[in-house]
A and B are shown apart, each in its own frame.
Chain A
Amino acid sequence: MAVKNIMIVGVGGQGTLLTSRILGGLAIAGGHDVKLSEVHGMAQRGGSVVTFVRYGEKVAEPVVEEGQADVIIAFEQLEALRYAHFLKKDGALIINDWKIDPMPVVTGAAQYPEHIIENLKEKYKVYTVNATEEAKKLGNSRVFNLIVLGIAAQHMDFSKEQWYSVIEHTVPQKTIEINKKAFDVGFEL
């Protein structure tokens, strides 16, 4: 199998690590070679964060480079825009319809770009959801990333049972049910 390249982008603290670990677990369960690359330390503190997951027959480098991503999972609009050029032709861009102002915008030094989703739709295959609002409806705004992951799952080759099994092994015991529910919301959109 050709190596599949997935990126998860967002803002430090949004749970990109958890999401990449679910994807990593899934790739292993599928019997693939897999590499993940994560961001720890200073950049994690509210900064722009990108995590790479690569799986297939044999994976060399642990990062995905420009023009190579099959799927980009973006937890925030501006971060979707920042990394969209990493997509390969026909790659899927899944965007949580949510904005978090970066500090240059808060201080007035920069403007948050307008119409990000509309503009990205002109160039890429874009799928959007307001996962943060959907997650609030489920009673826990923090599970929004599983909703986004549910949409991404539609563009990957794993069965729902495989996803469930990895979610059960990755998220804290107490939150398994709500995370599975959140995954379903995205998977069925």
Chain B
Amino acid sequence: MSEPKKVIMLGNEAIARGAYEAGVKVSAAYPGTPSTEISEYLVQYKEDLYCEWSPNEKVATEVAIGASVAGVRAMSCMKHVGFNVAADPAYTVSYMGVNGGLVIVVADDPGLYSSQNEQDTRMVARAAALPVLEPSDSQEAKDYMKMAFELSERFDRPFILRTTTRLAHSQGLVELMDRTEPEDKPYIKDIRKTVMMPGNAKPRHVEIEKRNLELAKAADTLPVNRVEMKNTEIGVITSGIPYQYVKEALPEASVLKLGMVNPLPRKMIEEFASKVDTLYVVEELEPVIEEQVKSWGIAAVGKEIFTIQGEYSANMLRRAILGEEPSAAEPATVPGRPPVLCPGCPHRSVYYVLNKLKLHAAGDIGCYTLGAVAPLSVVDTTICMGASISSLHGMEKAKGKDYIKNWVAVIGDSTFLHTGVNSLMNMMYNRATGTVIILDNSTTGMTGHQDHAATGKTLQGDPTYAIDIPALCRAIGVRHVTEVNAFDLETLERTVKEETARDEVSVIITKTPCVLLSKAKKPLYTVHEDRCRKCGMCMKPGCPAMTKNADGTVYIDDTMCTGCGLCESLCKFGAIELVKEENR
């Protein structure tokens, strides 16, 4: 037999590959950094499996549960906060167990690279009594995915595969294997296992606690957990990406590497602890392993010296455990470079108008969150998906309709379909008067352009019905639904003024596609310095393609300009002009 093929894969790609090799037949997900690419890689196997973008993580998980009940291996994928949305089905499918293997992939974000909080999925998993596997590199990401399906069926438990940003977005070598498709499990009607009414759920709770104990016992010998015995002065219990930092910083230490982080292999841990002088527990975020280990009366060092915030590193462990300072130059003091709306982004134009009208915005989750910072400074709140509309409603109920006359809710198209639509129903039902702006850029933007229920295309690339967002709003009962081009400043300003003044719910849809969607050559603007009066109007929206020269005139970086024309429409002196095709 020839050597298995080794290729370099992103953690998320390896998860997709693992699902493929495991014979998964159905996958559903909602995009969310750092989990998005799993589905984008999975779609390459669409001849062998079905995968979809669902409107939200709860729907996605229920789709996967249905497929499991029907007898095939199924999965859903999401980021950590998406798992909150999926919590309702997740907690209960834990009681049901599985027919076909069921895996929920949840990606945590220590260090908050692209999230609104730093919650630890292992805590949620413990609360839901769901077993968790956690890989530490791309190869394990693939292997554990397959193992998760096997264990899921063997122990009749849905499994969580937990990843973190660093694993999801790192690449490493992976050995490819063929797909093995297990036979579909027969569906045998048994409502004691699938209808979770109290009479059935009570005995199921007893049953799953029993299963989890069996699994915990098996964890002592499962190859997913392993001991690497070396020098016994220092022993470390760790898992996931922190394992790599331990190997880097403490190559001579003994390590108990946990591949299954819930439930824990108690006997294995007790034995390991008895063999080492000082035991450390190295885990990012919450002390999930540490607290359990200590509750068994085992002495260990953990969050006394390690933080619960952010990502770990080998240098951090060298400092905390060995007292070693890495030899490196002092970092320079430099201005920050926070993320910004792209040049040509239609949100910038909308926010320019809201800023000009001195309006506050209850914001939501997406690229448009970036409208919170200077110079646009429009967004006042960002909580979670869909919260813009409902929190605006709450303000009105607290302080009355006049109080929110200088407020709007802003939400993207994908986010509106995710959970915003429920909040709009609530506004209509409960006699609100607020104004909702749907920033419709025809895509799920921040996560890198995924289709959704209103784009007319599925994850698998098939054409489909595109939900008509204005019609949907009208069907809910909104009488004033206006569509405006985001770059038509005049109409936009007039519409926002009219609608916020109105004592009725209104929806303004600024429908202009994300500038990154089109790869076509873009037009380009230039500044005639002789006509520039240095008034600074064009700089107000904070376009990253524009800088001020030392003399106060303005310069447009032609490698960044996308030709949206916002600066031109703000210049009263004709100093900004489209560059003619022949001069480019």
Contact = CB atoms under 8 A, between A and B. Distances in A.
Interface of A: 11-13, 24-25, 28, 33-48, 59-63, 65-68, 78-79, 81-82, 84-87, 89, 100-107, 109-113, 123, 132, 141-142
Contacts of A107: 374-375, 542
Contact of A61 (B10, B248, B336, B446): B248
Contacts of A86: 328
B339 A43 contact: yes
B113 A62 contact: no
B337 A42 contact: no
B286 to A, nearest CB: 21
B331 interface: yes
28 contacts: A11-B337, A38-B170, A39-B169, A40-B448, A42-B369, A43-B113, A43-B114, A45-B342, A45-B446, A48-B336, A59-B172, A63-B166, A63-B313, A65-B326, A66-B328, A67-B327, A68-B326, A68-B328, A78-B335, A78-B337, A85-B332, A102-B335, A103-B338, A103-B340, A105-B335, A106-B539, A106-B548, A107-B542
Contact of B446 (A42, A60, A112): A42
Q: Chain A interface secondary structure, helix, strand, loop or mixed?
A: mixed
A82 B542 CA distance: 23
Output the residue of B339, B341, B373 with the most chain A CB within 10 A. Answer: B339
A48 B342 contact: no
A103 B373 contact: yes
Contacts of A111: 335
A102 B137 contact: no
B34 A47 contact: no
Contacts of B448: 40-41
B245 interface: yes
B331 A106 contact: no
Nearest to B540: A107
B229 interface: no
A125 B137 CA distance: 33
B544 A46 contact: yes
Q: Chain B interface secondary structure, helix, strand, loop or mixed?
A: loop
Contact of A85 (B331, B336, B373, B558): B331
A17 B577 CA distance: 33
B501 interface: no
Nearest to B516: A13
Contacts of B342: 13, 45-46
B171 A38 contact: yes
Given A46-B341, A103-B374, 11 more contacts: A34-B172, A38-B170, A42-B113, A42-B369, A81-B334, A84-B332, A85-B328, A100-B544, A101-B544, A103-B375, A104-B337
A78 B314 contact: no
A144 to B, nearest CB: 8
A101 B556 CA distance: 12
B559 A132 contact: yes
Contacts of A101: 544, 547
B406 interface: no
B330 interface: yes
Interface string B1-42: 000000010100000000000000000000001101100000
Nearest to B555: A101
B542 A106 contact: yes
Contact of B313 (A40, A65, A81): A65
B329 interface: yes
Nearest to B112: A42
A45 B367 contact: yes
B391 interface: no
B275 interface: no
Contacts of B247: 60-61
